Amino acid sequence: YVDQETAIGAGVASATASQAYLGVDMVSTVAKRKSVRIQSKAVYNAGLFVADVQHAPTGCGTWPAFWLYGEDDAHRWPAWGEYDIIEGVHDDIRTLTTLHTAAECQQSQIRPGEDFTETWGHGTSSLPASNCDVNAPGQWKNQGCSQAGPQGSMGSSFNAGGGGTFAAEWDPEAGHIRAWFWPRGMEPGDLKAKNPEPESWGMPYSFFSLDPASCSSDHFQNMRVVFNINLCGDLGAAKYVEGCPEEAKTMTCEELVADPDRMQEAFWMLSGLDVYARGATTAAPPSEPSPGSPWIFADFGVPSQ
């Protein structure tokens, strides 16, 4: 990853009033390619996070993500948790939406078709990866509890359709974390009007409980918003043979990403990132937000240079 000045100079990051571009070096033949990671200065303890994505990185060797995490010198990962909203590797056509925590965050009571529309990822066996502990038995190290998104929520078909909108609601007071996805042109009117009403959106594709008995809300604290593009990395390398079987016959993942011609789809194009907070009024003195109060626009759209 490079700093802001280097990224802008290398053409791997830019922004206008209506779009933000985050990519990788697509020109050089190098073993380690310039890439970007951008994160919020603000930290959050709840929120509705809405990303309007025109294009997401895809292709063998890529590992992009839109995520939140909490950490400081006294609270090392995963003490304050991680919430991956959009994540994929190689040519994935479904996003993975995942929680990563320390011990005692269990989601085995959450049922596909009852609580969320899609499916659980799997651990080291055919059983659902429903334990968010990064050291959970029967799951890959650091796997967390992962749910697959809808078909076409990542990959070339996502980009060919003009992308879409993700809305992720982290609501400790209501006791849940849930997410929705709409292809381009299918976003609900209230969301386009910046007056979101999640209760009208139907069953989410992803749902996690913050019930104190199974996964208390203090697993997620002081989290920052992040967009990044990793190349190969731990997950990309682990899934390289499965995700890119033909390429894996003749080259390693690192050798593949050294070829700039293979990196032409490794970029984010964002039309907006909006953050909403529960509706405390702005009157003096302010009222306290409560479960079920409306989500009020709270933070940034596309960041400027």
> Which residues are tagged catalytic?
82, 87
Nearest one of 105, 111, 137, 103 to 213, comparing CA atoms: 105
CA 24 to chain centre: 18
The label of the residue with tokens 């992720």 reads 168
- The structure tokens listed for 17 are 């009033």
Q: Is the peptide bond before 64 cis (omega within 30 degrees of 0)?
A: no
The label of the residue with tokens 């019930």 reads 211
CA 300 to chain centre: 17
240 by DSSP, 3-state: which?
helix
Q: What are phi and psi of 18, to 5 degrees?
A: -120, -10
